[in-house]
């Protein structure tokens, strides 16, 4: 942990309540960014170069329980994780940002109902659930704005998983990070659907954090990314307000493919997509040319997320057997 992070946490917790419990627990939904976050202006505080906008995945996400113990222990989906595993290291490193909880260790039990570290935003729901479980354990009584800022330290996208529905994470401008947090958009879209097309459950060979740093440092295409991201988020917000699905879908798909283009032009190249991912992209394009209104988005991984409306659920499901269909506003 850095002194900057320690001071940030101290500032956020100043004035917090102190009503500790024996166990803290929380659930946080995963989220899919329609306008992506890719690149940081400050690594210590996880401050993004551009704002982003997501939609949550309802019941898909992470449930976490945390207790005080004599020594650290991390469990994932019922199995104890080796202390040298990256999942355990990131979890415990984050918990050590909070030294005043009256314990020498933590027992953390995390249950993901989505694949871990496979490009389905498990770190987003994971750190959001961890922060909210900590809040429950310590009895801080923090509001969601502050919880969003704390979750951001673990994973930038986790700032959005503190909320449900459409959520915007504001990049902010302040060097201290106090204006970089997520907030929900008060917009329901009952007909909006997300389809999870799982290509692989395997962990990514390069994590999002390292991949992001490599892209920013070495990709020539990245230079145009922040301006596009800023345009895209405004277009998508307006499309949500107007319930203009074709504009939302087209912009979200273009945003995702542009992000992957910056990765592929990094050195060494970052190619998260697999052959099945490419075929799914082609199939979506064929379906649209045949008149079926479906679009896609992809995070830093091989798995595809389809965007469509309720009226096209049958057609999309027939084209992609085994598709997991999410109703984020039900």
3-state SS string over 187-235?
Answer: CCCCCEEEEEECCCCCCCCCCHHHHHHHHHHHCCHHHHHHHHHHHHHHH
Verify that 74 and 221 share a domain, yes or no.
no
Verify that 142 and 168 share a domain, yes or no.
yes
**Could you tell me where the beta strands, DSSP code E, fall in the chain?**
23-35, 40-42, 47-48, 52-69, 73-76, 79-80, 105-112, 166-169, 182-184, 192-197, 295-297, 304-309, 324-326
Q: How far is residue 56's CA from residue 312's CA, in Å, rounded to a whole number? A: 20
Verify that 73 and 35 share a domain, yes or no.
yes
From residue 44, how far is each of 7, 91, 152, 154, 301 by CA, in Å? Answer: 11, 16, 10, 10, 24
Query: What is the tens place of the pLDDT at every residue in 263-301?
Result: 999 999 999 999 999 999 999 999 999 999 999 999 988
Query: What is the tens place of the pLDDT at every residue in 187-207?
Result: 999 999 999 998 987 877 888
Question: Looking at residue 201, what is its pLDDT?
Answer: 79
Q: Quick one: what percent of the chain has pLDDT higher than 70? A: 98
Verify that 147 and 258 share a domain, yes or no.
no
Which of 152, 184, 216 is at the close of a domain? 184
Give the model's confidence band at 27: pLDDT under 50 very low, under 70 low, under 90 confident, else very high.
very high
Query: What is the tens place of the pLDDT at every residue in 125-174?
Result: 999 999 999 999 999 999 999 999 999 999 999 999 999 999 999 999 99
Verify that 136 and 215 share a domain, yes or no.
no
Determine the structural domain holding residue 290 and report its residue range: 192-326
Query: What is the tens place of the pLDDT at every residue in 30-44?
Result: 999 999 999 999 999
CATH value at residue 111 = 3.30.230.10
Verify that 33 and 159 share a domain, yes or no.
yes
Q: How far is residue 161's CA from residue 304's CA, in Å, rounded to a whole number? A: 19
Question: Looking at residue 100, what is its pLDDT?
Answer: 81
Question: What integer is the mean pLDDT of 260-264?
Answer: 97
My answer on whether omega of the bond before 268 falls inside 30° of 0, hence cis, is yes
Q: List the Cα angle 310/312/318 in 5-degree steps.
A: 120
Which of 132, 150, 184 is at the close of a domain? 184
Total domains, the chain: 2
Verify that 240 and 284 share a domain, yes or no.
yes
Verify that 215 and 83 share a domain, yes or no.
no
Taking alpha carbons only, the member of 35, 28, 29, 55 closest to residue 193 is: 55
Verify that 63 and 173 share a domain, yes or no.
yes
Verify that 280 and 155 share a domain, yes or no.
no
Task: Tell me if residue 39 falls in helix, strand or coil.
Answer: coil
Structure token pair of residue 117: 């570290």
Q: Quick one: what percent of the chain has pLDDT higher than 90? A: 85
Which of 184, 205, 224 is at the close of a domain? 184
Dihedral, CA atoms, 59, 66, 48, 232, nearest 10 degrees? Answer: 0
pTM for the model stands at 0.93
Q: How would you label 105-140 residue by residue, b for 16+ Cβ within 10 Å and e otherwise? A: ebbbbbebebbbbbbbbbbbbbbbbbbbbbbbbbeb
Q: How far is residue 201's CA from residue 220's CA, in Å, rounded to a whole number? A: 31
Verify that 244 and 280 share a domain, yes or no.
yes
Verify that 175 and 288 share a domain, yes or no.
no
CATH value at residue 220 = 3.30.70.890
Give the model's confidence band at 118: pLDDT under 50 very low, under 70 low, under 90 confident, else very high.
very low
């Amino acid at each position: 942990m850095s002194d900057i992070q320690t001071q940030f946490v101290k500032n956020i917790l100043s004035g917090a309540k102190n009503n500790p419990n024996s166990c803290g627990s929380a659930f946080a939904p995963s989220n899919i960014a329609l306008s992506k976050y890719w690149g940081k202006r400050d690594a210590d505080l996880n401050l993004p170069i551009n704002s982003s906008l997501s939609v949550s995945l309802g019941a898909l996400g992470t449930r976490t329980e945390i207790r005080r113990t004599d020594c650290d222990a991390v469990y994932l989906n019922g199995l104890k994780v080796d202390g040298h595993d990256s999942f355990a290291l990131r979890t415990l490193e984050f918990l050590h940002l909070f030294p005043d909880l009256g314990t020498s260790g933590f027992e953390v039990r995390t249950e993901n109902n989505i694949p871990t570290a496979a490009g389905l935003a498990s770190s987003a729901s994971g750190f959001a659930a961890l922060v909210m479980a900590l809040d429950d354990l310590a009895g801080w009584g923090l509001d969601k704005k502050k919880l969003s800022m704390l979750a951001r330290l673990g994973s930038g996208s986790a700032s959005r998983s503190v909320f449900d529905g459409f959520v915007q994470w504001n990049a902010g401008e302040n060097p201290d990070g106090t204006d970089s947090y997520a907030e929900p958009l008060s917009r329901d879209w009952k007909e909006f659907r997300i389809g999870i097309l799982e290509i692989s459950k395997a962990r990514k060979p390069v994590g999002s954090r390292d991949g992001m740093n490599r892209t920013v440092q070495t990709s020539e295409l990245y230079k145009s990314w922040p301006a596009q991201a800023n345009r895209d988020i405004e277009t998508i917000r307006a499309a949500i307000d107007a319930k203009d699905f074709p504009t939302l879908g087209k912009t979200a798909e273009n945003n995702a493919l542009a992000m992957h283009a910056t990765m592929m032009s990094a050195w060494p190249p970052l190619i998260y997509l697999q052959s099945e991912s490419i075929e799914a992209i082609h199939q979506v394009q064929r379906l649209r040319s045949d008149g079926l209104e479906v679009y896609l988005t992809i995070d830093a991984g091989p798995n595809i997320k389809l965007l469509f409306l309720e009226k096209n659920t049958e057609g999309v499901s027939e084209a992609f057997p085994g598709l997991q269909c999410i109703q984020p506003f039900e």
